[in-house]
Amino acid sequence: MGTKIIPVSVTTRKSLSKKQRAIEVLARLKRLYPDATCSLNYSTPVQLLVATILSAQCTDERVNKVTPALFARFPDAESLAIADLVELESLVRSTGFYRNKAKNIQAACRMIVTEFNSVVPNQMQQLLKLPGVARKTANVVLAHAYGINAGVTVDTHVKRLSERLGLTEAKDPVRIEQDLMSLLPQPDWENWSIRLIYHGRAICKARSPVCVACELADLCPAANKPVVVG
């Protein structure tokens, strides 16, 4: 059985600093989702990179349905770099924005082959040089392929929940990431994101958050307030 979560009063919540609330939210997320891990299926760093690119504006579940056939046909950077682009587009079509994704995947793999000796780089600045790779994708690859917590992955769930929890007022993902990095211990940067994503899927949904069942509600300034979806 897990440790019982003792709610705090509104007065106590308001007396806590933003960092104290963030640490308490983190502790509860760890208890609620102890086995949370990356939902994407992959075997190598390049496969994780490709899967993460495909996950933009697409569910991990859908990506995991696409990648078995994709990786069976093109398992590594070398094969993706020389793949027929029309075939590549066909294989990733159901993930949405497939033409742009296929183009970026191929361009990224060509750069990996020519500039990085066919090895996905393990440094943020090098990853950001790859087509289709911004900090979100780079953070996922660094954390799960190389065990490097270089930042906080900010997807739509992390953005929404961090704002609702009053941990950031920023709208830009880079600013949100900076705010969260200042509040959380570095070893927890990536598992914060994963656990917050799990909570966003299960409880704190965009249009209908289930505040009555939320074990973070007493720490959340937005709990039980009307949801505005813009």
Rounded to an integer, what distance in angstroms lies between the CA atom of residue 98 and that of residue 57?
11
Rounded to an integer, what distance in angstroms lies between the CA atom of residue 10 and that of residue 195?
24
Rounded to an integer, what distance in angstroms lies between the CA atom of residue 63 and that of residue 230?
26
Return the sign of the alpha-carbon dihedral for residues 195, 169, 124, 156.
Answer: positive
- Taking residue 115's Cβ as centre, other Cβ atoms within 10 Å add up to 12
Residue numbers annotated as active site: 136, 155
Q: What tokens appear for 4 in the block?
A: 């019982």
Rounded to an integer, what distance in angstroms lies between the CA atom of residue 75 and that of residue 63?
15
Rounded to an integer, what distance in angstroms lies between the CA atom of residue 135 and that of residue 51?
15
